[in-house]
A and B are shown apart, each in its own frame.
Chain A
Amino acid sequence: MKKAELMDYDKALELFEPVLGFEVHVELNTKTKMFCGCANEFGQGANTNTCPTCLGLPGGLPQVNAQAIESSIRLGLALGCEIAEYSRFARKNYFYPDTAKNFQTSQYDEPIAFNGQLTIELESGRLVTVDIERAHMEDDAGKLTHVGGATGRIQGADYSLVDYNRGGVPLVEIVTQMIEGGEADSPEIGRTYVAAIREIVKALGVSNARMEEGNVRCDANVSLRPRGSNVLGTRTETKNVNSLRSVERAVRYEIQRQAALLHAGGTITQETRHWHEDTGITSAGRPKSDADDYRYFPEPDLVPVAPSREWVEELRATLPEPPAARRKRLQADWGFANLEFQDVVNSDLLDAVEATIAAGAAAQAARKWWTGEVARLANVSGVSADSLVQPVQVAALIELVVAGTLTERLARQVLEGVINGEGTPLEVVESRGLAVVSDDGALIAAIDEALAAQPDVLAKIRDGKVQAAGAVIGAVMKAMRGQADAARVRELVLQRAGSTE
């Protein structure tokens, strides 16, 4: 549907109530795949990490990765889920070349985790609690490249190429219950929910959580219910929405598209839809088949997973502080204004600032250096700020400023030295000779020289016009090549001029 044919968003909400649901796939960062010992890494050469098991060759038998089970349980616990006492794998049967086995090893009626809850906070401060139906384990599919055809997309391709390096990589699929009452916030709920999941898996350390690399992928279900009706509308499932912004855009687009169709007397087809990042629209994919058509059955090659309650409690004890709670605590501890704190969060510098403060720096100084000069230099080199310099070095730099060894300007030069690998801030200060001249003798000599060169200024200062001292201070700072504390210079100038300010 062309953008011009969409219904106005406000009008769509006037006529219909959006009902949402999300399926988020999280790729675990285990060393090996879910059911075989092939390395869980791709981006190298195609088909370099495969074996008879993940290629579905005759005789290949799956063996469950213990770390993947542990990560799945921890993720389930972090989502407030119950952990099943008895859980099984099941085969989901379908023919598609990204799955060499002709089935996906997944979980059906006995998922590892279920009945969870996640409360998210929208920008307005509105809290929305999303009920989690289940989090189940499964293996990922291979990567298809469609070749030929007019568009390079699935439709009209001449043939497809398959790389099975990703096939068999462990996934956890997190499925929400229906989310009602989202109203105009629905698109933001989608984005914030996926952001919260991403933040949790990152805090747990169970996934690399890079959406741009497909570590976290979202399928967004949207349906519309006419106002005053209690019958659910037909839903569409928009697949593989792979950035936070896209989740928001895709939900909004589907609300506007479905509203236009329904209002014109049309019907919604239950189908999967593809999201197009470039044009910002969705297009029809395959009609959604009934779950029965997947002919799920218990995986005969694997025995059940029955995590003991002791193990579950041990894992619960390893959970980090929930990211949302941690943010609240840190903001309160540091006394940051909302904008200051958001700046740190949006720059992904929470860990760096926290570590810098832990290393002894004042909170505001830590924030200022990281979101200021460090972020600027990182931006110039196109890398992330926290990869540029260690928090302990930033803390050491701040300490030198506080002690008066460095001015802000000198400290920026020292920071560059540290980033260039010239050593710790103190080492850079020594090797570059950047310390503030705190030897009063040297300063006094320069001041006397400057005063002698500007007798009119000296006279003004003696007359009590202390603001005239600026010219002398400037000359002294220049003579010291900026390596002097301007406040101290001012003090000494007034003293030498004999002013009784």
Chain B
Amino acid sequence: MSEITAEQVAHLANLARIDLSSEEISRLTLELGQIVDSVAKVAEVATPDVPATSHPMPLTNVFRADTVVPSLTVEQALSGAPDRDGDKFRVPAILDEE
């Protein structure tokens, strides 16, 4: 059985800026535990000659040339912004007063 705890889930939710109720935390603790257990089964069948990978495709070194392509216009760039001030994105104050 996995060792996922409710505290870990609450911590992760906080880092991910997701507001979870205590019921949701309980349910996710159980579900995440099951997911971790399921993934662990893969380790049982993986032999040492199978290298770990983050990617299913056997590709490396996919690069693009250093050539400028047109950017969005300022209006396009700001069109999805909740708030703006001139040509800049406007966001709420970030840190509270110390």
Contact = CB atoms under 8 A, between A and B. Distances in A.
A145 B88 contact: yes
Contacts of A52: 72
B46 interface: no
Contacts of A39: 68, 71
B42 interface: no
B75 to A, nearest CB: 10
Interface string A148-161: 11000011111111
Chain B interface extent, by class:
35 or more
B41 interface: no
A45 interface: yes
A162 B95 contact: no
A159 B92 contact: yes
B60 A306 contact: yes
A66 interface: yes
B90 interface: yes
Contact of A164 (B15, B55, B77): B77
A47 B89 contact: yes
Interface string A68-87: 11000000000000000010
A160 B94 contact: yes
Interface in B25-71: 54-55, 57, 59-69, 71
Nearest to B80: A57
Interface string A22-52: 0000000011100011110000011111111
Contacts of A276: none
A95 B57 CA distance: 30
A66 B66 contact: yes
B23 interface: no
Contacts of A156: 93, 97
Contact of B87 (A46, A55, A93, A307): A46
Contact of B67 (A37, A95, A306): A37
B95 to A, nearest CB: 5
A299 B88 CA distance: 29
Contacts of B57: 303
B54 A64 contact: no
A155 B87 CA distance: 24
Given A39-B68, A159-B90, A304 B60 contact: yes
Contacts of B68: 31-32, 37-39
B91 A160 contact: yes
A95 B17 contact: yes
Contacts of A68: 66
A162 B88 contact: yes
Nearest to B11: A293
A421 interface: no
Nearest to B88: A161
Contact of A48 (B15, B17, B71): B71
A94 to B, nearest CB: 8
Contact of A50 (B60, B69, B77): B77
A157 B64 contact: no
A31 B69 CA distance: 10
A300 interface: yes
A172 to B, nearest CB: 15
A64 B98 contact: no
A107 to B, nearest CB: 13
A38 B71 contact: yes
Contact of A66 (B12, B63, B90, B97): B63
Contacts of B54: 88, 297-300
B4 interface: no
A65 interface: yes
Contacts of A32: 66-69
A455 B55 CA distance: 101
B1 interface: no
B71 A307 contact: no
Contacts of B59: 303
25 contacts: A32-B66, A37-B67, A37-B69, A45-B74, A46-B74, A47-B78, A47-B87, A48-B87, A52-B72, A55-B72, A65-B63, A66-B64, A96-B94, A97-B94, A154-B94, A155-B97, A159-B90, A160-B91, A161-B90, A286-B95, A295-B15, A297-B54, A299-B54, A304-B55, A304-B60
Task: For the complex of A and B, list the 10 residue pairs with the smallest distance between their C-beta atoms, beginning with the closest.
Answer: A298-B54, A37-B69, A66-B63, A67-B66, A161-B88, A306-B60, A162-B89, A46-B87, A97-B91, A63-B64
Interface of B: 12, 15-17, 54-55, 57, 59-69, 71-72, 74, 77-78, 80, 85-95, 97-98
Interface of A: 30-32, 36-39, 45-52, 55, 57, 63-69, 86, 88, 93, 95-97, 144-149, 154-164, 284, 286, 293, 295, 297-300, 302-307
